[in-house]
Amino acid sequence: MATRARSALREYLWLALVGGVLIAAILLVRANEDAIKTFIDQKPFWGVFLYIVLNILDAVLAPGATLPLIPVAAHVWGQVPAAIVTTAGWTAGSLIAFLIARQWGYPLVKKLTSPDRLKQLKKYIPEDLFWSIVLLRLVLPMDVMSYVLGLFTDITWPKYALATALGLTPSAFVLAYLGKLPNAYGLIMAGVGVVVAAAYVMVVRRRRHRRRAAA
């Protein structure tokens, strides 16, 4: 019972942390939007380089933390270039997370993400991996999915890279086009709230189901 309580607490704290980090990132970028635009505009190489690096870190460690930068990139570079660079960063980060799981395994992965989430997602791994990855990329956090696939499947590197790029590209283009809207940051914050709330409801329902099954 105590173990279950600790596991539930970790999940709730993780959701609160993710939501807090995303909201803080939105507020930080919004407050410094002009300075970030100026830097990217005046230093195009370093702007692209840092944007890709941040998106790699987003995919490996903190899914969604760089979402507030997409409107800035869309205004400076235009929607299509911003979407392409975003896809490149997300894909590279996902490949790094996949490599970490494939090369160093569970002992290292559990230090980077929640072991409970890894175990829960393992049972949802489908047989038709390629197109399932393409579809799941639209709805699941990048870091967890990369680690799960690296740990528990034998999909080849080229297939994983192609499926990941195909799955991430539509989201990048949608977010880049939304980023040019006047209320882009409000839309992102609302989206973050909906995702965190949905995740919380799923966790609560799963806990209740487990308690009923145990009873």
Q: Which domain holds residue 12?
A: 2-214
Closest CA to 161 of 104, 94, 64, 100: 94
**pLDDT tens readout for residues 65-104:** 788 888 889 989 999 999 999 999 999 998 988 888 887 7
Least-confidence region, from 1-10, 21-30, 62-71, 119-128: 1-10
Distance CA 160, CA 162 (A): 6
Choose from 32-41, 85-94, 113-122, 177-186 the range with maximum mean pLDDT.
85-94
- Say what percent of the chain tops pLDDT 70: 64
Q: pTM for this one?
A: 0.75
**pLDDT tens readout for residues 120-176:** 666 666 666 788 888 878 776 556 778 778 777 888 888 889 998 998 899 889 888
Q: Is the pLDDT of residue 56 over 80?
A: yes
Distances (CA, A) of 11 to 113, 115, 201: 11, 10, 12
What is the sign, positive or negative, of the torsion defined by CA atoms of 57, 64, 203, 147?
A: negative
Distance CA 186, CA 124 (A): 33
Q: Specify the number of domains making up the chain.
A: 1
Distance CA 179, CA 60 (A): 23
